[in-house]
Amino acid sequence: MDDCIFCKIIDKKIPAHVIYEDAHAVAFLDIMPRTPGHTMVIPKYHAATFLDLPDADVAPLFAAVKKVDALLAKKLMPDGMTIGINQGPASGQEVAHLHVHLMPRWLNDHGSAVQSLVNHEGEESVEEIKRKLLSS
């Protein structure tokens, strides 16, 4: 994709602090880190969201995520890691090229858990949601 900033990073047309690369994925430090070592892992071709990633490429992408997780854990020695994907503008996705955020976490970093990002319970009960999801 010509106008995709992450495709340009893959093609080395714009610089990035790459910390890991293999045949399927590239990992580079976020330009506006929310924690020290905030990294994004992206597939090496344009896929806008996780749903656009072919099934066969899910495992290679997440194998890279795990390698980067281990690298950050070993070298930065955080107390934990937040790993997440923003899918679509409603979730906060600004760059339309699939990317997995890894944010090293420390006990005193005053952050919170991913499920605390939103508090919109909705009107339907859990049972109604389940029925909807399992209906044909």
Given a contact cutoff of 8 angstroms between Cβ atoms, the answer to whether 68 and 27 are in contact is yes
Using the rule CB under 6 A, is 7 a contact of ligand 5GP? no
Give the separation between CA 52 and CA 17, rounded to whole angstroms. 26
Is 106 in contact with 79 (CB distance < 8 Å)? yes
Of 3, 13, 23, 32, the one binding ligand 5GP (CB under 6 A) is: 32
Does 16 engage in binding with ligand 5GP (CB under 6 A)? yes
Beta strand segments in the chain, E:
18-21, 25-29, 39-43, 80-84, 100-105
114 counts as binding ligand 5GP under rule CB under 6 A: no
Catalytic residue of the set 24, 38, 97, 99: 99
Determine, following the binding rule CB under 6 A, whether residue 92 of this chain makes contact with ligand 5GP: yes
CB of 6 to Zn ion, least distance (A): 5
